[in-house]
Chain A
């Protein structure tokens, strides 16, 4: 395995092409699969018709209005979460960090549940979740900054405590909310893609951050070895850390806004890829976007069809798929 690890540095851009190409193929296959399966059967012939711009009205609605937007939302959300997780791990120099470690999902949950509690729907819930996530980001950063400068350890500790605080608020809101609103709230908390219909913004953000991350990739590699070492090697550490923090927060806020707080993708995907591909951020970050998106598309296809017509929250599936895969890779890599 280690023989493959340093190939990237040795062979330059070509070293990126093979693993990323493979992951892109996997993503396309997963996309095709999630468009092909559903609780209602659309035959391959009908699918082909629809792909060519024809097909009957029902097949067109099923494929173009329901499956494609949902599959793309799943891809975008998974990619955003995995990318945000990888960035947070570098920012905090802590392999255990995930996109939610700084209390982002808690803030988003409080925002979303407050909107649901007020009986508001759709866009207001999304907007409120986004606002909650950003508020939490600013709160954690402000508190960690305190009167002096922040360190990763201090940021992490502040985030963990703020997250615990949000958790308490969420529990309180669940306790006082009317019974008929509880199912919707619980689905949101578990992560659910059933109302994601507009993947455009999430996909654009994902692509943008991936493109931005490439030129910053080597600086991130150096930063992963510690702030002082990075500064001595010519990295402008503080601006870079700010950029990572803002980017990871935006990515997570967008993901949470699209599909609620889906667990495990942000922690497990970067690790799985590091075990196989090494720790060069120029490869890992785009690989995270592709692999995270693929994982979530597959998980959502299962969530939609496993016990149809009942719809499972996709967060349950990501955990059920992600945990054993991760444990297996970890076991094999010793």
Chain B
């Protein structure tokens, strides 16, 4: 179990004033949803929290230690990131791709062993892509690639999940399956943070919500306090209709 704390954190979005600095903590068991319109800085926030970009100011602490002082290897054992964009310059199979999730856990001289392979196979199975194990990644559909990316992080087995729009390209069934997987990770003691465009997925699966405004303003807190029509309509500049179905609020844009 790990926790990630942000203190007076201002992410570095070029050409934007500082706005509101973030003071929040990703605790074991929490599922955070990050909502905001295009360009609000959701991806930048995730990369900053993962230590891949320097913040403009403020500090990040992973289990009480300064994130920037930790080795990448130490960070990668605690924290996994599902990227929104992926590049594949060289051919690689689905199985090889899932296996690289084991990278932070192996010493330089170690080869991936049977145990690592088992973990990767299990992750592929869990994400419903095991039947593609021999295929080259470049031949997969967008949704299959998305599930493979999540399977890779599942193989990595981090205590903190940062996922950038993990339901992109997924059909309804697989969207639900992925959200269920992440919720299960949280129940088992992980801290999860997701960038989402789908308000209804956030309403259904997240317990904490962070709203990011394009001007750098932000607010965060428990889901029910955040997902109120007024705040959301201001966030997206879009009028919404609200209903309650199956015990959760549902938001639908008004024509």
Contacts and interface: CB of A to CB of B under 8 A. Distances in A.
The short answer to whether A and B are in direct contact, CB under 8 Å, is yes
Interface of A: 2-3, 5-6, 8-10, 12-13, 15, 89, 93-95, 214-216, 218-219, 221-222, 224-226, 228-229, 231-237, 274, 278-280, 282
A14 to B, nearest CB: 9
B52 A12 contact: no
Question: Which residue, B75, B95, B96, has most C-beta atoms of chain A within 10 A?
Answer: B96
Contact of A6 (B83, B95, B111, B116): B95
A2 B80 contact: no
A26 B95 CA distance: 31
Contacts of B50: 232
B141 interface: no
Contacts of B112: 9-10, 12
Nearest to A233: B103
A218 B76 CA distance: 15
Interface in B62-109: 71-77, 80-81, 83, 86-93, 95-97, 99-101, 103-104, 106, 108-109
Contact of A93 (B75, B89, B91): B89
A234 B91 contact: no
Contact of B96 (A9, A216, A228, A237): A9
A300 to B, nearest CB: 30
B83 A233 contact: no
Contact of A3 (B72, B76, B80, B134): B134
Given A10-B117, A279-B90, A234 B103 contact: yes
Given A9-B96, A12-B111, A234 B90 contact: no
Contacts of A10: 112, 114, 117
25 contacts: A2-B134, A6-B95, A6-B134, A9-B117, A10-B114, A12-B111, A12-B112, A13-B111, A15-B111, A94-B89, A215-B109, A218-B100, A218-B106, A222-B100, A225-B89, A226-B86, A232-B50, A232-B83, A233-B101, A233-B156, A234-B73, A234-B104, A236-B71, A237-B72, A279-B90
Contacts of A95: 89-90
Contact of A225 (B75, B87, B136): B87
B108 A216 contact: yes
B230 interface: no
B47 interface: yes
A224 B97 CA distance: 11
A215 B109 CA distance: 5
Given A218-B103, A232-B81, A234-B75, A5 B96 contact: yes
Given A9-B111, A219-B108, A225-B97, 17 more contacts: A2-B93, A2-B134, A6-B95, A6-B134, A9-B117, A216-B108, A218-B100, A219-B103, A221-B100, A222-B103, A225-B87, A225-B100, A226-B89, A231-B72, A234-B77, A235-B103, A278-B96
Interface residues of B, number: 41
A95 to B, nearest CB: 6
A35 B56 CA distance: 64
B52 A225 contact: no
A280 B99 CA distance: 12
Contacts of B71: 234, 236
B113 interface: yes
Contact of A215 (B80, B90, B92, B108): B108
Question: Which residue, B71, B97, B112, B116, has most C-beta atoms of chain A within 10 A?
Answer: B112
Given A6-B95, A13-B111, A222-B100, A234 B87 contact: no
B93 to A, nearest CB: 5
A9 B83 CA distance: 24
Contacts of B114: 10
Interface in B109-125: 109, 111-114, 116-117
Given A222-B100, A233-B104, A234-B103, A228 B47 contact: yes
B91 A229 contact: no
Contacts of A282: 111
A234 B72 CA distance: 4
A150 B20 CA distance: 31
B253 to A, nearest CB: 33
A130 to B, nearest CB: 30
Contact of A232 (B76, B91, B97, B108): B76
A9 B52 contact: no
B100 A233 contact: yes
B250 to A, nearest CB: 34
A282 B109 CA distance: 10
A49 B113 CA distance: 48
Contacts of A279: 90-92, 96
A241 to B, nearest CB: 13
Question: Which residue, A15, A228, A233, A235, has most C-beta atoms of chain B within 10 A?
Answer: A233
A2 B136 contact: yes
**Top 4 closest pairs, chain A to chain B, by CB:** A234-B76, A234-B104, A215-B108, A234-B73
Contacts of A226: 86-87, 89
B102 to A, nearest CB: 9
Contacts of A235: 72, 103
A36 to B, nearest CB: 38
Contact of B52 (A2, A232, A278): A232
Contacts of B113: 12
B103 A231 contact: no
Contacts of A5: 93, 96
Given A2-B136, A9-B112, A236-B72, A224 B89 contact: yes
